Structure 1
Amino acid sequence: MPSTFTAVSYARTLTPEALAAIRAVLTGHGCSIASERSEKHPGFEAVVLELACPAEGAGLDTTAERLAALRKALTEAGAGGAGTAVVPNSLRSADRKFIIMDVDSTLIQQEVIELLAAHAGTEAEVTKVTEAAMRGELDFAESLHHRVATLAGLPESVLAEVGEQIKLSVGAERLVAKAKAAGHVVAAVSGGFSQILTPLAERLGLDYALANDLEIIDGHLTGKVSGAVVDRATKALQLRTWSAASGIAQAATMAIGDGANDLDMMAAAALGVAFNAKPAVRAVADAQINLPNLDVALALANIQGA
């Protein structure tokens, strides 16, 4: 692994014992710590460790394998509840970065389809299917059609009611505002619904946004979506398309999500971040945020500002 990575450790409180354990994992994998600095953020602390790591060693054949082994060891260490992300410097040092987020249970705290289902009396059924889909146990498009079908007949007015119920994740506004102020590009892509995402994207000033369209006829939901479903392949495609349109290389991209539908997007990014995610997503993510603070992503991407 070449010395092109930085380790960022974060927790509500980073204890000396936690940091000692993290340093031990890093040095145990042949990395030396070139420099170290502490940062204070709303709701959490971070320590940034600049790494110099060997290009070969440990009997592993590729840089990707060595990086995966280091990340796995840091996760297993779980020192004092601290998380540690090994972030490519191509992202941290980029003049312009591209950040793309899932919406439900990532940018916002809720699952919109469950809020809609509460109006239809089908919340329990929909929640069960949603959870299975996010664990990767069901085909997303098939599960979406099944869940949306339970909404047939609801008046269009419920969309405005649900929109008023939306709660942004802690740090979401800070993440978008700071990233935008620093000249970076921020996008959201959702397996949810454009009728909810579009006004939210306008409110936050997102550069790009895409979600499914609920079909509405004569003022009522039909129980169908219009057009192709925004699935995991679509999310990855939008990362590539929007970052290219913004003139930003994939090496300077970060994708944040919580469910199986986000895995392709996370894999396509320079840094794929699991945000309070399902176990199957955490297991393959480049980094994890297991605090209810979305703006931990600011520390990972090295986005500064007031």
Structure 2
Amino acid sequence: MQSTAFIVFYSAASSCPEPVGLRRTLAAAGHEVIEETAFTGAGRSGARWEVAGTVRQLRALVNPLDAQLARSEDPAVRGTAIAVVPAELVRAKKLLLVMDVDSTLIKQEVIELLAAHAGREAEVAAVTESAMRGELDFAASLHARVATLAGLDAAVIDAVRARLELSDGAAELIAAFKAAGHHVAVVSGGFAQILDPLAAELGLDFARANDLVIAEGKLTGAVNGTVVDRAFKEVMLRTWAKELGISMEHTIAAGDGANDLDMVGAAGLGVAFNAKPLLRDAADARIDLPRLDIIANLVGI
């Protein structure tokens, strides 16, 4: 049986132009385009091609073209991307999507919102940025940032929760996956006190984050238990997939920073969402537009 994979390309344009040289490059290497399907959505348009060939073969051809698009300074192609998606993901009856939370599921960084109440937002934001670029050990940086919250009234948790904004397309993405019978989970280096109510509201299957220590109605500046770092995020991806009886080939992981590297690398499809360079270079697909529901377009939902 002939191996096939899907090549997906999209842009912010209302009518997505076919990437220059893509069809010619495929034909020159002997890869036939079997079927073409166009798609549109809020803030983007694109197409999904089923192409004869293996994922490895097609990525060897497509990734250099995608890298050129990523480096382009032409505003007409800004945000345009090409990705190769395994056929088994597009055809799977049951998928598991696991997402990071801060700057992925939501637009903000929760630790910075909390730190603002302590007058330490700029200091904490600088540490967060460095950690997401992979320049600092995440666990050590988390402990240092949480320490700045010591003494805050626990009521700030409700105040911060009220300020959360879902990323554009996040609700639509979750609804589409759930309607198709798939599973959605989130794993965060943030805090369970913020995340758990949001996860319940969105109807997510699983959620895991760090646990802030609260004593006598005040934040102590510490967290309970194991820190949710990059290694722990991969552990949760694998744990949830096993619990659901889903193979790792049928998982998708999306994030924006170095703390997401391990789960993005382990998933059947790893997605970098408006990500730091370290993750963008490692991911199977990149989204450089503000719409999180492009993930649904990638896998044909």
TM-score by length of 1: 0.91
Map of 1:77 onto structure 2 = 68
Distance 2:149 2:158 in 1: 15
Distance 2:99 2:138 in 1: 17
CA contact (8 A) 1:22 1:77 kept: no
Distance 2:81 2:146 in 1: 36
Q: Which runs of 5+ in 2 are unaligned?
A: none
The offset of 1:29, in angstroms, is 4.6
Q: Are 2:291 and 1:293 equivalent residues in the alignment? A: yes
1:214-293 matches, cutoff 5 A: 214-293=212-291
Map of 2:47 onto structure 1 = 47
Distance 2:207 2:283 in 1: 23
Map of 1:205 onto structure 2 = 203
Amino acid at match of 1:36: E
Q: Percent identity?
A: 53
The offset of 1:259, in angstroms, is 0.4
Amino acid at match of 2:46: A
The offset of 1:124, in angstroms, is 1.0
Distance 2:201 2:167 in 1: 15
The offset of 1:22, in angstroms, is 2.9
CA contact (8 A) 1:25 1:74 kept: no
Map of 2:7 onto structure 1 = 7
SS at match of 1:283: helix
CA contact (8 A) 2:7 2:51 kept: yes
Q: Which runs of 5+ in 1 are unaligned?
A: 56-62
The offset of 1:239, in angstroms, is 0.7
Q: Are 2:132 and 1:134 equivalent residues in the alignment? A: yes
Map of 1:185 onto structure 2 = 183
Distance 2:152 2:141 in 1: 19
CA contact (8 A) 2:15 2:46 kept: no
The offset of 1:293, in angstroms, is 0.2
Distance 1:111 1:188 in 2: 15
1:16–1:97 Cα change, 3 Å = closer
- Picking from 145, 159, 172, the partner of 1:161 is 159
SS at match of 1:223: strand
1:179–1:241 Cα change, 3 Å = same
CA contact (8 A) 2:63 2:83 kept: no
1:197–1:16 Cα change, 3 Å = closer
Kindly provide the CA deviation profile for residues 277-296 of structure 1, in whole angstroms up to 9, marking residues without a partner as x.
Answer: 00111011100011000000
SS at match of 2:282: coil
Aligned residues: 293
Distance 2:26 2:128 in 1: 38
SS at match of 1:19: coil
Distance 2:206 2:34 in 1: 37
TM-score by length of 2: 0.93
CA contact (8 A) 1:71 1:286 kept: no
Map of 1:59 onto structure 2 = none
1:19-34 matches, cutoff 5 A: 19-34=19-34
Distance 1:122 1:156 in 2: 17
CA contact (8 A) 1:21 1:77 kept: no
Distance 1:247 1:295 in 2: 25
SS at match of 1:104: coil
SS at match of 2:102: helix
CA contact (8 A) 2:63 2:82 kept: no
Kindly provide the CA deviation profile for residues 174-214 of structure 1, in whole angstroms up to 9, marking residues without a partner as x.
Answer: 01111111110000000000011001001100000000001
Distance 1:274 1:243 in 2: 20
CA contact (8 A) 2:241 2:251 kept: yes
The offset of 1:244, in angstroms, is 1.2
SS at match of 1:105: coil
1:225–1:67 Cα change, 3 Å = farther
